[in-house]
Amino acid sequence: MAKLNNDFFNLKGWFILALVFFLTACAATDARNKEKRKTDAQLYIDLGLRYMEMGDYRVALTKLNKAHAVDDENFASHNALAIFYETTGKKELAVPYYKRALSLAPDNPSVLNNYGRFLCQHGDVDNGFEMLIKAAELPFNNRSWLSYSNAGRCQLIKGNQQLAEKNFLQAITRNNSFAPALFELATLNYVRQEFLSARNYIEQFFTVNFETAASVLLAYKIENQLGRLTAAEHYRKILKKNFPASKEAQSLVK
């Protein structure tokens, strides 16, 4: 009987070992499948966003829907679909995808930045600003300057120029070649009639970014206020020559 008992326990031990091996193998297979789904979904996301950039929204949506179908637990596919619907003017369809992306990745800087910016642009400034600041302050956010700049724009919507400027300054502290923040700082200083500071920021803008109708017009106005009429005339000619059909060029009387 003792022999039978020993055999039984030996068999039981082998069964447990086999079961552990089986479960481990299943876990490894599940992990590989999950990683493959994530990789495939990301491929479709990248393709979808590329088609969006090219303006082919039909194909873009097809690719993004495939990403969602491959891995509906992937926050990035929800984030991308939200951006798609926001870009195509379908706010009501963007909202649930932003919410789902946030629930799947509450500390992801891309999700927080995109959803926060979206909320600010659609009237929920306080919640949007809170998300943007959270995104900006995450230690692993390697684009914190973008979140700070969006936070600044958010405060401009609310009319809080002081807090807006604080965030734009935070943005260029982290990336001194980020043109949108430099342009906003130039504009804020112009409005406050601090024309030398405005001139400094717009000149920094031109060193890192192509001229735009809005930036050239602002430079023209700044130089006019400083009494630098030759410089002002220079910008007027650029505006008329390079952007003749723009509303900025049309706003100049001569």
H and E: helices and strands count for the chain: 13, 0
Q: Is residue 231 in a domain?
A: yes
Q: What is the pLDDT of residue 4?
A: 47
**Which of 79, 48, 72 has its CA nearest to residue 62?**
48
Q: Is residue 216 in a domain?
A: yes
Range of the domain at 204: 176-254
Q: Is residue 187 in a domain?
A: yes
Q: Is residue 11 in a domain?
A: no
Instruction: Give per-residue pLDDT as tens, 42-91.
Output: 898 899 889 988 999 999 999 999 999 988 888 999 999 999 999 999 99
Question: Is the C-alpha dihedral spanning 209, 210, 214, 217 positive or negative?
Answer: positive
pLDDT category of residue 184 using cuts at 50, 70 and 90? very high
**CATH number, residue 189:** 1.25.40
The CA-CA-CA angle for residues 8, 13, 16, to 5°, reads 125
pLDDT category of residue 92 using cuts at 50, 70 and 90? very high
Q: What is the pTM assigned to this prediction? A: 0.83
Q: Is residue 244 in a domain?
A: yes
> How many domains, the chain?
1
Q: Is residue 213 in a domain?
A: yes
Q: What are the Cα distances from residue 231, in Å, to 58, 219, 245? A: 47, 9, 22
Q: Is residue 123 in a domain?
A: no
Q: Is residue 89 in a domain?
A: no
